Structure 1
Amino acid sequence: MPVTDPVADMLARLRNGHQALHADVEIPLSRMKADLARILKEEGFVEDYKVGEYTISIKLKYVDGRPLIAGARKVSTPGRRVYVGVNEIPRVRNGLGICVLSTSRGVMEGSRASSENVGGELLCEIW
């Protein structure tokens, strides 16, 4: 059965993997999900990721046996896109989390989008 919202599916797989205390999760490959995995690694939310031919393998990160990703929220959905300008990019959990945007310059984290003076579609928030 095809997935209508791939980013929401990825966030659900990460959340389910953390709840089950798995070491890693497998996610079907797409370019946007690979970019999101790259951002999660750069920001320290996951240990590592590997892009295979058809899947992305993400190694989950735990601190003292507790998942590092406390929560994730999908903002834009296929039925309701949410766009933000450079001055409207939200701070997540008072700076403890990140927001991910799909911009004209690619998928990037909110603070990087601010520094590059670009807005876009607000995909998700992770804390």
Structure 2
Amino acid sequence: MEVTRDRAHRAWRSAERIKRLSDRLVGVGPFGVGLDGVLAWVPVAGTVYSLGAGALLIAEGIAAGASAKTLARMGAYIALDSASSVPPVIGWVVDTLFPGHLMAAKALQKDIEARHGPSELADDWLRRPKGRKSGLSPKR
């Protein structure tokens, strides 16, 4: 079945949301922490979140028609991320610092861009436009 460009780019946007929420909610330079890192410190919750977000990424990859190689790479990143949260303390630290969802999402996004072209959205598409005034029409 042929995947449309629109469907593939919806998967790209979903991957972007998941990677930001999971691993880049708060960013400091090249490092970031998201729900995955924070919930890693809550027994069971971190593993449940990690597996759930990973399953969503894999489902989006399948819906976007990602290659088997990309899906396998995504699965490996997600498995490492989820498994690292199981051992107490050291595992939680590793899970906080290892951006598995971000890496899986980037792999999916690269696959989508190779097959369907780059996304039409800018990197800041989640942010609200600055300086936009509602209710005012532009002067001519």
Query: Which bracket does the TM-score occupy, shorter chain normalised?
Result: 0.3 to 0.5
More strand by share: 1
Q: Which has the higher contact order (CA 8 A, sep 6+)?
A: 2
The TM-score normalised by the length of structure 1 is 0.33
